[in-house]
Amino acid sequence: MKSAPLTLVLPLIALGLAAAMLAGVFWGTAAISWPDRWSILLRADTAPRNLSLIVWEWRMPRVLLSGLAGAALALAGVLMQTALRNPLADPYLMGLSSGASAAAVAAIIWLPGGLVEQLGVPLIAFVGALLAFGMTLGFAHRPGRGMTPLIVILAGVAVSLMFQSVTAFLLYFGDPHATRNALGWLMGTAAGSRWGDVPLLATVVVILGIVAMLGRGVLDTLLLGDERAQALGISLPLVRLSIYSAVALLTALTVANLGIVGFVGLIVPHMARLLVGGRHGGLIPVAMLAGAVVLVLVDLACRLLLAPEELPLGVLLALLAAPPFIILLRRVNHAL
């Protein structure tokens, strides 16, 4: 399949993201007329105050956080698939989501409510994700030989299984009311997003996106194989450790804010490759914009499909991502 020109694809996806964000701000369970929508968006004096509160304090930070999370997971997916040279790699491969889940569930079910309220579930989940990341690197590292992609994958699977068992144990013996709250977080949701959640994730996504673009030549070289990359003077242990650390930071922040949001980091990079090819100079920005579009639209659908009830992000994403995932598996099978 021939790739489309980047100069055509990038503006179209950017316009699509703008349209998706406007839709996310304009539509929801509260009905708002078109004149009121524009007056609220423009901060006009005639805008209804109660509807302005809904748009600016509830919907706007939610849409921004969803878009940033989608971009973060897509970037993390691109980096992981490149570092491991595995088309089925995703940001959760190193046990990050499982570590965050175990920490969050433990906080919701077992810790005193006052302590959880003071620390916040996102911070506790972030610490759990970093703990899992550290354990994966520790298990994967072999003195004198560093970390090979296969060992990293196996270590990540082991750490994931361990933390999944801890989560299951906590849910089984936990209070039913607290367990319901924990399950809601585990399935992913952007509900309750606040303006204070946006700056940190936005800063990390922008900085790491720029760094990835600056290192696009190194990322392209990694796809040629370890021997050729080393022959060109690339320090593979340092580059891979840098990539793993960037992926851990992006994924941990996303999981801390939205819970477990699967498939974006796996499917979206492949969608971007179909559009612009595998060179990272085009792949990275297209994947990040596409990831933002996907998560903003899925979050909007979660709000509207069963309104006034909300579907969890993880549930709808799994339903929508299953067909592309099956197609991806078939493509990988034919390539082997």
Please write the tens of the pLDDT for every residue from 236-295: 889 998 999 999 999 988 988 898 887 899 899 998 998 898 899 999 999 999 999 999
* Geometric angle at alpha carbon 185, from 184 and 190, rounded to 5°: 100
Whether 268 is in a domain gets the answer: yes
- Cβ-contact 291, 100 below 8 angstroms: no
Helix 264-276 × helix 313-335 angle, to 10°: 50
Across the range 195-221, mean pLDDT stands at 94
| pLDDT given for residue 143 in this prediction | 73
The enclosing domain of 256 has a CATH number of 1.10.3470.10
- Measured CA to CA, the distance from residue 18 to residue 276 in angstroms comes to 20
Whether 37 is in a domain gets the answer: yes
- Measured CA to CA, the distance from residue 212 to residue 220 in angstroms comes to 11
Q: What is the pTM of this model?
A: 0.90
Whether 261 is in a domain gets the answer: yes
Whether 15 is in a domain gets the answer: yes
Across the range 35-54, mean pLDDT stands at 80
Place of tokens 């004198």: 144
- Cβ-contact 22, 38 below 8 angstroms: no
- Measured CA to CA, the distance from residue 244 to residue 7 in angstroms comes to 30
Which region among 123-132, 275-284, 310-319 has the lowest average model confidence (pLDDT)? 310-319
| pLDDT given for residue 145 in this prediction | 65
- Measured CA to CA, the distance from residue 153 to residue 111 in angstroms comes to 32
Helix 236-258 × helix 96-110 angle, to 10°: 30
- Measured CA to CA, the distance from residue 94 to residue 31 in angstroms comes to 43
* Residues in Cβ contact with 49 at an 8 Å cutoff, skipping those fewer than 6 apart: none
Whether 316 is in a domain gets the answer: yes
CA 230 to mean position of chain CA atoms: 31
Q: Which residue segment(s) compose the domain that 264 sits in? A: 6-335
- Measured CA to CA, the distance from residue 298 to residue 295 in angstroms comes to 5
Whether 1 is in a domain gets the answer: no
Whether 282 is in a domain gets the answer: yes
| pLDDT given for residue 242 in this prediction | 94
Whether 277 is in a domain gets the answer: yes
Structural domains counted in the chain = 1
